[in-house]
Amino acid sequence: MVSIEVTAQNESAEAAAASPRQGPYLCGIDAAMDVITGKWKSLILWELDNGTRRFSALKRGLPGVSEKMLVQHLREMEADGLVHREVYREVPPRVEYSLTQVGVELNAALAPLGAWGQDRITRIGAPMVVQHTAP
């Protein structure tokens, strides 16, 4: 028999208070780019748009990301209120990541940029490493 205890983390006030990013910003684009700067952050958002993922599933879905970089980006994104980390106290330990409402809203804002990028890939005939289907 496996005992399960869920530890939920406050994804709004505590995460925002812990955020290392406080401005000042030149404009809204500056503030938005501040939370998604980093090679893997937008791809983590995109991967989590498909639903809750364990760390190993995220790593598999992001070919080329190192474990260290994925951990670092997930911690920053959690501190920025984009990602929720849920720890299940069970054997073996289990941790799952999902988007917060803020993360969902950011993904919606990034969707037109993704569409532009997809059009560019097609137009210039660039190869794609992995073909994903976003929901």
Average of pLDDT values for 33-58?
Answer: 95
pLDDT confidence of residue 4: 43
Quick one: which H or E segment has residue 113? Answer: helix 101-124
Segments making up each domain of the chain, as ranges: 11-123
Quick one: which H or E segment has residue 55? Answer: helix 55-61
For 49-94, the pLDDT digits (tens) are: 999 999 999 999 999 999 999 999 999 999 999 999 999 999 988 9
For 108-128, the pLDDT digits (tens) are: 999 999 999 999 999 998 887
Q: What is the pTM assigned to this prediction? A: 0.76
Look at residue 106 and tell me whether its pLDDT is greater than 60.
yes
Taking CB atoms within 8 Å and a gap of at least 24, the contacts of 47-51 are 47/132, 48/83, 48/97, 48/98, 48/99, 48/103, 49/99, 49/104, 49/107, 49/134, 49/135, 50/132, 50/134, 50/135, 51/98
pLDDT confidence of residue 47: 96
The CATH number for 11-123, chosen from 3.20.20.70, 1.10.10.10, 3.40.1160.10, 1.20.1290.10, is: 1.10.10.10
pLDDT confidence of residue 129: 74
